[in-house]
A and B are shown apart, each in its own frame.
Chain A
Amino acid sequence: MTVPTLTRRPSGGGRGRPVARTSARPVIPPDRAGRRSRRTHAGAPPLRWRLVTLVVVLGAAFSTIIVRLVEVQGVSADRFARFGRSQRIQVVELPALRGSILDRDGVELALSISRPTVWADPSQVTDPAGSARALSPLLRLDQSELRASLSDAAAFVYLARRVDDGTAAAVRALDLPGVHIMDEPTRVLPAGAVAGAVVGHVGVDHDGLSGIELQYDESLAGTPGEMVVERDPSGRDIPGSVRQSKRPDRGGDLRLTLDRDLQFITEQALAAQIVGAKAKSGVALVMDPRTGEILAMASVVAAKDQPPRPADYNKAVVDVYEPGSVMKLVTLAGALEEGAIRMSDVLSVADRITVAGTTFLDSEPHPVRQWTATDIMAQSSNAGAIAVAQRLGADGLDRYLRNFGLAGRTGLEFPGEATGIVPSLDDWSGTSLPTLAIGYGLAITPLHMLAAYNTVANGGVYVAPSLVAGDVGGAAQRRVVSPETASRVTAMLTEVVRAGTGTTAAVPGYTVAGKTGTARKAGADGRYEEGAYIASFAGFLPAEAPRLSAIVVLDEPQPYYGGLASGPVFSELATYAARRYQVPTRPAANLAPSSATRS
């Protein structure tokens, strides 16, 4: 709009009042012109002030910029540098492959391989409903759950972990935005559940949860590596920008003393007898008594309307029980070692004996017999064993119970391993001695018991059990009884299998030394359950030069006698193991090793 101006008419040209004159600017009516004139001359700041204001504003702006510059480039430079790096530099963890668990021959009992895992970044998912609909049949997951996962606020959600390769390929072919596949290590047991209770389990994050997996988790797990990379906004590595890289250290392999094939046979034999004897569960151990190496360690439980299955945990070292008559080995060995009884001594043994007002019975009634220590062992006489223990005395019996390693742990350090409970001598009552002498009043594991038999097999030297090759346990070796005592006890045990309660444990071609046990089973209330027994057999072979030892324990079998229920399983296991380890058969009478080598 043009601006009108006011002027006066030249003198003599009018009546003295102002008139509008057309000029470059339009004429403004008097009333409006007056208002304009007042704004221009009375309200507008002078030019000088405008300049001052401009300088102040510009100065303030520049000051702010300078302050910010100093802060960004100086005071907080490190913080901003870190922030920048965090946006483009990523630390990628390189998972370490878990080591394998091997048997004594190097065969894998457990190993790790990678399996594809399907995951999603919901922020990249454009159509959660459509993606869920496409993925649901492939992953066999509920569509609504998948949709919820794909709509999650998190930047990372698992959709299906460790799927098979075919599923992964099918998911990859869908090419769904925001749905990705990565490899995750998976623990595999190539032989199925063989030795599963010993090997143990790992969790979803591949850390050991039980068994050997837990006990040796640190050495099996290895050390994860890491790679620091600079990546562009698309997630691609920026060439030449890798700052540092640390390779993952694969976990070490662990070689056990177990023999996978013998372990399998042991589990099968135990399962068959659980079915045959209608037992609730069973435990069997096979060892090399010379080294203490555990060759097989099986725990099997009955399942309703199904074949027996491996136990969820290692019952051989976790569960404790009252062993019963297999304990008589300790009583008689101690008495022989202390000279409380000699092999030639003959005792008058009735079928019952009363101590401190309590009567202890033999398993079968019989008239008073004139029995040697060997007879007492062979017939598994409770009254006879108690009489021998009375000769040994409380101090002696307590000492040998402990020297044979029945109190405390075996040194295996297996997770959950039970401590052998032998009452302190100070806590003994009047019936403690007869009770302990026949294997009651204490709680031990089958491994404790077999280690005691190994001591006799080893000529009187206790050898700590071991499950890992090269691991000699806590207390490796110690002498418990003399070689002479061990030899005499072995002779007694041989008689048990030749003509006593353990004839079912015999192995053709070998001289077996062993002992039966038929122990009443205590219920939850501490009272013995009527008709409930734990049947066991422990022994070794060949008696002349022991190479193998084993114990078989069955929970509530029918028949319940150790000789009838557990003896046959021992025989089956020993027969297989002796053949597998090429243990020489018993030499003929005229081919004794000593004479043969001299000829």
Chain B
Amino acid sequence: MHVLLAQGQADVQRLRGQVQEQVERQQRLRMEVATLEAPARVIATAKNELGMTAPPAVVSLTPATLPPRP
């Protein structure tokens, strides 16, 4: 009986540790996602690695007349 109890206790502790590990892992993954999405990193990657450049100006196009209604 005592052996079973001890074994159960060990299992509880092991599972508790696994839960904690997974919570920690989730937090680290969330941090990793947020870090990868950080604007500074995205801009640096776009410019330095992908060779992208920002447009010199934004042009808004406004139609002179409304299109005919269907």
- A191-B30 in contact given A113-B24, A585-B62 (Cβ < 8 Å): no
> For B37, what are the chain A residues with a Cβ–Cβ distance below 8 Å?
107, 190-191
State in angstroms the CA–CA spacing of A596 and B65 once bound together: 10
Bound state CA distance, A216 and B38, in angstroms? 24
In Å, the complex CA distance between A509 and B57 comes to 12
B47 within 8 A of A: no
A265, B6: Cα distance in complex, Å: 58
A444, CB-defined interface residue at 8 Å: no
Q: Which A residues lie within 8 Å of B69 (CB)?
A: 599
Which stretch from A198-206, A311-319, A587-595 is at the chain B interface? A587-595
B44-70 vs A, CB cutoff 8 Å, 1 = contact: the mask equals: 000000000000011110111110010
A100, A192, A508: the one within 8 Å of B58 (CB): A508
Is A509 in contact with B39, judged by CB distance below 8 angstroms? no
State the Cβ distance, A520 to closest chain B Cβ, in Å: 35
Closest to B12 in A: A242
CA distance in complex: A111, B30 (Å): 9
Contact call B59/A508, Cβ cutoff below 8 A: yes
The reply to whether the CB of A143 lies closer than 8 angstroms to some CB of chain B is no
Cβ contact within 8 Å between B40 and A264:
yes
Is B60 a contact partner of A508 (Cβ separation < 8 A)?
A: yes
The answer to the question of A150 belonging to the interface, with a C-beta cut-off of 8 Å to chain B, is: no
Given contacts A194-B38, A239-B5, A508-B60, whether A114 and B24 have CB atoms under 8 Å apart is: yes
Q: What residues of A have a CB within 8 angstroms of the CB of B18 in the complex?
A: none
Q: A385 to B11: give the CA distance in the assembly, Å.
A: 79
A113→B58 contact, CB < 8 A:
no
Kindly list chain A residues whose C-beta atoms are within 8 Å of the C-beta of B60.
508-510, 585
Let me know if A237 is at the binding interface, CB within 8 A: yes
C-alpha spacing A354/B67, complex, angstroms: 58
The verdict on A264 contacting B58 (CB below 8 Å), with A111-B31, A240-B5, A591-B66 known, is no
Chain A residues 559 to 595 lying within 8 A of chain B, measured CB to CB, are: 575, 579, 585-588, 590-591
Residues of A within 8 A of B40 (CB): 191-192, 194, 264
Separation in Å of the A301 CB from the closest CB of chain B? 18
Which of B5, B28, B57, B64 sits near A113, CB closer than 8 Å? B28
Interface centre among B13, B34, B65, B66, by most chain A C-beta atoms within 10 angstroms, is B34
Q: Which residue of chain B has the shortest Cβ distance to A590 in the bound complex?
A: B65
- With a cutoff of 8 Å between Cβ atoms, the chain B residues found around residue A113 in the complex are 24, 27-28, 31
B38 to chain A: closest residue by CB: A191
Q: How far is the CA of A214 from the CA of B7 in the complex (A)?
A: 45
Q: Given A107-B34, A509-B60, A579-B58, is A237 in contact with B9 using a C-beta cutoff of 8 Å?
A: yes
Contacts of B24 in A (CB 8 A): 113-114, 183
Residue numbers in B under 8 Å from A482 (CB-CB): none
Contacts of B66 in A (CB 8 A): 591, 596, 599
Nearest to B60 among chain A residues (CB) is A509
Q: Which residues of A contact B10 (CB under 8 A)?
A: 239
B-side interface size class: 20 to 34
Q: Tell me the minimal C-beta distance from B37 to chain A in angstroms.
A: 7
Q: How far is the CA of A97 from the CA of B8 in the complex (A)?
A: 27
Identity of the chain B residue whose Cβ is nearest the Cβ of A114 in the assembled complex: B24
| Neighbouring A residues of B38 by C-beta, 8 Å | 190-192, 194
Closest to A193 in B: B40
Chain A 96-138, CB-CB to B under 8 Å as 1, else 0, gives 0100100000011001111000000000000000000000000
Q: Is A588's CB under 8 angstroms from B6's CB?
A: no
User: Does A544 belong to the interface (CB within 8 Å)?
Assistant: no
Q: When chains A and B are docked, how far (Å) is the Cα of A100 from the Cα of B34? A: 12
Instruction: Report the Cα distance A240→B10, complex, angstroms.
Output: 10
Residues from chain A with a CB closer than 8 A to the CB of B39 are: 191, 194, 260-261, 264-265
CB proximity of B45 to chain A, nearest CB, Å: 14
The answer to whether A586 touches B58 (Cβ under 8 A) is: no
CA distance A12 to B68 in the complex (A): 173
Closest chain-A Cβ to B14's Cβ sits at a distance in Å of: 12
| A91 close to B (CB within 8 Å) | no
* Residues 56-103 (chain A) with a chain B CB within 8 angstroms: 97, 100
Is B23 an interface position by the 8 A CB rule? yes
Does A188 have its Cβ within 8 Å of any Cβ on chain B? yes
Residue of B nearest to A107 (CB): B34
How far apart sit A237 and B6, CA to CA, in the bound complex (Å)?
10
Known interface pairs A97-B23, A237-B9, A239-B6; A188-B31 also in contact (CB < 8 Å): yes
Docked-complex contact A111 and B63, CB < 8 angstroms: no
Complex-state Cα separation, A237 to B13, whole angstroms = 10
Residue pair A108, B2 in contact (C-beta under 8 Å): no
A265 to B39, CA, bound (A): 9
A194 vs B60: C-alpha distance in the bound complex, in angstroms? 30
CA distance A124 to B37 in the complex (A): 46
Q: How far is the CA of A260 from the CA of B31 in the complex (A)?
A: 15
Given the complex, which residues of A lie within 8 Å of B59, measured CB to CB? 508
Given A239-B6, A240-B5, A590-B65, residue A190 in contact with residue B34 (CB < 8 A) = yes
Residues on the B chain within 8 Å of A261, using CB: 39
Q: Which among B2, B37, B38 has the highest number of chain A CB atoms within 10 Å? A: B38
Distance between Cα atoms of A364 and B31 in the complex (Å): 54
Nearest CB of B to A446, in Å: 23
Which 3 pairs of residues, A with B, have the shortest CB-CB distance? A509-B60, A190-B34, A239-B6
Name A's B-contacting residues (CB within 8 A). Answer: 97, 100, 107-108, 111-114, 183, 188, 190-192, 194, 237, 239-240, 242, 260-261, 264-265, 508-510, 575, 579, 585-588, 590-591, 596, 599
10 additional contacts (CB under 8 A) given A100-B30, A111-B30 = A113-B24, A191-B35, A239-B2, A239-B5, A239-B8, A240-B6, A240-B9, A242-B9, A264-B39, A590-B65
5 residue pairs A–B, Cβ–Cβ below 8 Å: A239-B6, A585-B60, A585-B62, A588-B64, A596-B66
